[in-house]
Structure 1
Amino acid sequence: MNNLPKYMKWCFWGILFLFVACSKNSGDIVPKNASLSFIESTVPLEELSTDGGTISIEVESSYTTWNIKAGDAKEGQKFITQITPANAGSAYEENTQTSVSIIYGSNLTSTQNRQQVIISSVTDNLSDTIVIIQAAKPVVKQNVTIDPSITYQTVSGFGGANAIWGTDYLSSSEMDLAFGTGDNDLGLSILRVRLSSDKNDWAGLVNSIKGANAHHVKVLATPWSPPAVWKSNNSVDGGGSLLETHYADFVNYINEFIQYMSSQGATVDVVSIQNEPDWKAPYEGCEYTTSEMFNFVKNYAGGIKGAKVLAAESLNFNQAYTDDILNDPVAADNLDIIGGHLYGAGLEPYPLAVQKGKEIWMTEHLLNLDSGNNPDNWTGNTGVKTIWDESMKMVREIQTAMMDNWNAYIWWYIRRYYSFLGDGERGTTRGQILKRGYAMSQFAKFVRPGYVRIQARLENTSSGLIITAYKGDNKIVVAIVNPTNVDVPGVNLINSTVVSSAVAYTTSEFVNRKMENLTPDNTNVTVDITANSVTTIVIE
């Protein structure tokens, strides 16, 4: 340096001075007093509207950029749907204010919503949090007047089918669980069995029927086909019809089945003429036209002895199969129960059957996410919500059937992965009560055979609740189905007499027949109904 010319020394020191000066100015852009906060005077202190809307809040910041987001719900549900802008601020400016727009949705629940809003600095360890409060939906009491003096049908029961093909029938412990009325049982009261076209199968069914008898459960025996030699196609499979020349033979065959079971100490309460006479099945089946069914019932069914007679178990409860029978005094006298299935259609009142004093039984339906055709629809990983959503279809169907004055509802298999008890397939444990079993028990366990449906009048139908009520054994039983996604608090059951006790049982996606002791108020009982649920209240 000392050897350099003087002018070069001055150049060197000049450059060094400029470099230091620039470095110092560059350092000045780092915020010295960064700050970030909501302006408290702009934060709403009042509860926001239940209807949803938009609010504006001011954010003040110095020498920092920031992000803003909606945080967790501290109470109730999240309700903030959008915040704009999502980020703002400046690393170079002091005391900048930014107006933030917050859009929020409606609150359809009776619970207050409290949700955080959080601002965070991008460059500094700064943040601020506020809580926005939204009002709860006002509770409007849903008054339901129960009138035991107005009566409808007598309930025969709720049930399901034994194994129809093969011999893997319900075990003794499974029957106890299905038909028992204890705290952990389902309370089913009807068992459907197959009246086989092969007499060699009869002996294997004896213990199942005797087991049902021991639980005071009605037994319905349904033939899928008469013996092949009496049919037009000489086969039990692939449709074909029963030749008229063998109508009497088939009546004798049915009687022989009833008598055989009786000789073994097994009682058959009801026999059907034919399963799904309007369906040409590739498996075991038999076809009848409406006129053929009329002929059989009028001229031959009167010979069936020892059990009640049911017809016609149409695929979709086609009333044409029994209209002519009911309108003919002789034919109608030979028929005790109108039965049908609900595949595709058929869930509707049958005033002619009620007028003629006949019971109406739904004798078969199943829902399984169409997994019979598409196995991947139901696997061991199928979620509870998916299963429950379909189970609610069954629950609504049962409730509608009762409101249509039907006397019984019989599901397909009692033990199947999509039914009431697990069979060990698709993630189920054999013999374990499934979600759908708990749903069915909301009716079967509490609405017992012989109970009578009574009037339950809901004053405010806007809630979407579906309600039926029953009386029996000195109790009032109210079944409330909530098919909506909204809780309905404050459902007030108004009874005709003073209530001494009331217990509610609820099954939903989240709980299985959860019990709650209610507090009666003279003749009133108030219960909160959760979304997408079925609740049964037993009043004494």
Structure 2
Amino acid sequence: MKSVKSLLTATLALAALTGNLIAGTCTADFANIKQTIRGFGAATVTSQGTITDTHFNVGFGSGGGTVGLTIARIRIPPSTNSSDWAGEVSNGAKAKSRGAIVIASPWSPPASMKDNNSTIDGYLKTSSYGAYATHLQNFVNYCRNNGCELYGISIQNEPDIDVDYESCHWTADQMRVFCRDQMGIFYTTKVMMPESFQFRKAMSDPTLNDAAARANVDIICGHIYGGGIEAYPLATSNGKELWMTEILNTDTSLSAVIGTAKQIHDCMNVAGFNCYCWWYLKRDYGPVNETGARTKRGCVIAQYARLVRPGSVRVACTANPSPGVFVTAYKNGSKAVIVAVNTSTSTVRQEFKIVGHSVSSLNRWRTSGSEDLATLSAVTVSGGSFTDSLPGQSVTSYFQP
């Protein structure tokens, strides 16, 4: 026993001396399919200022220097005058022309339809339910006629938060009634709700528990400000996808940027979300900076978005094989993708085991304090296993060529 303790002490001391952490094996089972991934995205709303072709090319491109986003989120202006919709729809069309799908969210119904006659705060009048559904349908038609066919439309952005900008309150039961009585008119555009600021299940449970209302809803969506990253069995058991449609973090430190990778990991692995969408496309703290260059955070998002393309599926994987290391695995068509995030400040020598899939080598990309989606030499996979060093505070993607 004494010799075993001595060996363990020596091993720990060596790990501390070399700066390496002791790792367990990460097993990725490509025969065990989880959720389908619809993509990664960002908002192209006009409130962030002019978004140039360079911003769109970098954000929604798929080649070198790009982020690889495939979902654009636009705003539905609170106006019944279609000329007021042109800017938002133009941005959506530019993203769509680059291969993205487009979703739309209203921050408020038109003021005339609300009980306070304002686009800030207040509630949609019950007597305006039909008019508001028609307003949403008119926006869908306008988008279709202007090169921006919508994939999905939300009923309301963040109906459960108090703010002093464009907004509208809804109760969970109001949403249930509205979905039940009004949203059956959308046949080709997917209906999304409730878009809670914290992915609060209480905002969508009543709709999911009402068969008539549930039938008119395709996607349960929400944001993750301060919480909400958790599984939602009531939604998935009823065949509804889970979309995370907004989050931001203005902190651009390396730890915060790597934290975004950990957040993506949690959204995919813990919550089983089908997509991950950032807030503004164009910001220094977002995927693309003001001048049109990909940011460090954009590189981190690209470690997923450039490889886990729409229609990919997540597969079972040892999520936390080593202290500070978080791993997800995917099948992009017939190709394997593994993304490993090391949130610790120490290098981890990580072993990976691949089952249910045949592969002899994997290409590597890495983002760290000194690397921005850097292309590294390929790793050899022998007998379904390989081992690699994960630098502290880094994201490494392994993928079949």
Same fold (TM over 0.5): yes
The partner residue of 1:469 within 329, 348, 362 is 329
Match of 1:480 in 2: 340
What is the deviation of 1:207?
Answer: 2.7
- Contact 1:227-1:236 within 8 A present in 2 as well: yes
1:349 maps to what in 2? 231
Q: Structure 2 stretches of 5 or more lacking a match? A: 1-8
Aligned to 2:263: 397
Question: Equivalent residue of 1:165, what SS?
Answer: helix
> 1:314-353 maps to which residues of 2 (within 5 A)?
314-353=196-235
Paired residue secondary structure (1:145): strand
Give the gaps of 5 or more residues in structure 1.
Answer: 1-47, 53-78, 80-104, 111-136, 370-385, 424-429
- Give the equivalent residue in structure 1 for 2:117: 234
Q: Check the 8 A contact 2:157/2:195 in 1, yes or no.
A: yes
Q: Residue 327 of structure 1: CA displacement? A: 1.3
Q: Is the 8 A contact 1:505 1:535 kept in 2?
A: yes
> In the TM superposition, what is the alpha-carbon distance from 1:409 to its structure 2 partner?
0.7
Q: Which runs of 4+ in 1 moved over 4 A?
A: 48-52
Displacement after TM superposition at 1:108 (Å): 5.2
State the shift of 1:357 in Å.
0.9
Deviation of 1:501 (Å): 2.9
Q: Given the alignment, which residue of 523, 526, 531 partners 2:384?
A: 523
Q: Distance in 2 between matches of 1:51 and 1:401?
A: 33
Greater relative CO (CA pairs within 8 A, separation 6+): 2
RMSD: 2.1
Instruction: Confirm or deny: 8 A CA contact 1:255 1:306 kept in the other structure.
Output: no
* Aligned counterpart for 2:89 among listed residues 189, 195, 206: 206
1:247 aligns with 2:135: no
Q: Tell me, what secondary structure is at the counterpart of 1:176? A: helix
Pick the structure with greater CA Rg: 1
Give 2:6's aligned residue: none
Q: List per-residue Cα deviations over 1:27-81 (Å, max 9, x = no partner).
A: xxxxxxxxxxxxxxxxxxxxx95656xxxxxxxxxxxxxxxxxxxxxxxxxx9xx
Q: Residue 199 of structure 2 contacts residue 223 of structure 2 at CA under 8 Å; is this kept in 1?
A: yes
Alignment of 1:126-165 (within 5 A): 142-165=24-47
Once the 2 structures are TM-superposed, how far is the Cα of residue 210 of structure 1 from its aligned partner? 1.9
Q: Deviations over 1:333-363 (max 9, x none)?
A: 1000001111122111111111111110111
Alignment coverage as a number of residue pairs:
389
- Judged with a 3 Å threshold, the aligned counterparts in structure 2 of structure 1 residues 490 and 399 are, in CA distance, closer, same or farther, namely closer
Hey, what's the Cα distance between the residues in 1 that align with 2:264 and 2:188? Answer: 29
Q: Deviations over 1:13-32 (max 9, x none)?
A: xxxxxxxxxxxxxxxxxxxx
Matched, 1:417 2:284: yes
State the 1:505 CA deviation: 1.0
Helix, strand or coil at the partner of 2:205: helix
C-alpha distance in 2, partners of 1:188/1:276? 23
Contact 1:359 1:406 in 2 (8 A): yes
- Contact 2:307-2:332 within 8 A present in 1 as well: no
Note the C-alpha offset of 1:368: 1.1
Q: Taking every aligned residue pair, what percent have the same amino acid on both sides? A: 34
Shift of 1:392: 2.1
What SS class does the counterpart of residue 253 from structure 2 fall into? Answer: helix
The 1:342–1:498 alpha-carbon spacing in structure 2 relative to 1, beyond 3 Å, is closer
Q: For 2:100 and 2:112, locate their aligned partners in 1 and report how far apart those are by CA, in whole Å.
A: 34
Measured against aligned partners, the alpha-carbon deviations of 1:400-452 in whole angstroms (never above 9, x if no partner) come to 010121101111101112111111xxxxxx10111111111111111111001
Report 1:101-120 matches (<5 A): 106-107=16-17, 109-110=19-20
Under a length normalisation based on structure 1, what TM-score does the superposition of the two structures give? 0.69
- Larger mean CA deviation between 474-483 and 510-519 belongs to 510-519
Judge conservation of contact 2:327–2:340 (CA < 8 Å) in 1. Answer: yes
Residue pairs, 1:275-314, within 5 angstroms: 275-314=157-196
Shift of 1:539: 2.7
**C-alpha separation between the residues in 2 aligned to 1:152 and 1:307?**
25
2-side partners of 1:51 and 1:456: how far apart? 27
- Write the distance in 2 (CA, Å) between the matches of 1:499 and 1:306: 39
